[in-house]
Amino acid sequence: MDTATIGTQSASTTNQMTRYMWVIAVQWPTGGGFGSASLASTVDIPAGASRLDIYLQVVELAKRETGAKTPNVVFFSLEPDRLDG
């Protein structure tokens, strides 16, 4: 999974991009039990982008990756990828 699969890309080259790491854990009903998956990657996001829009895009990606039609999000995190120190 590469960084280009998620995020709103701006046509303007002057818009500053920040790299974020996201993690999502989902669960969905299958037969008599549940399937589960955790996915993680990075995405470059322009300043002013909506956190909700990114979340919804990540959920859609989780649906495609798992084949789950109705995944329940158990965990989601979106944090700057850069560590200061």
Q: Is residue 10 part of a domain?
A: no
Residue 7: predicted pLDDT: 57
Residue 14: predicted pLDDT: 55
Residue 4: predicted pLDDT: 42
Residue 15: predicted pLDDT: 74
Residue 31: predicted pLDDT: 87
Q: Is residue 8 part of a domain?
A: no
CA distance 70 to 85: 40
Among residues 15, 18, 19, 36, the alpha carbon closest in space to that of 27 is found at 36
Mean pLDDT for each 10-residue chunk of the chain (85 residues)? Answer: 50 75 97 95 95 97 95 97 88
Task: Tell me, yes or no, if the pTM score tops 0.75.
Answer: yes
State the total domains in the chain: 1
Residue 85: predicted pLDDT: 75
Q: Is residue 7 part of a domain?
A: no
Exposed, middle or buried by CB within 10 Å (0-12, 13-18, 19+), for 57?
A: middle
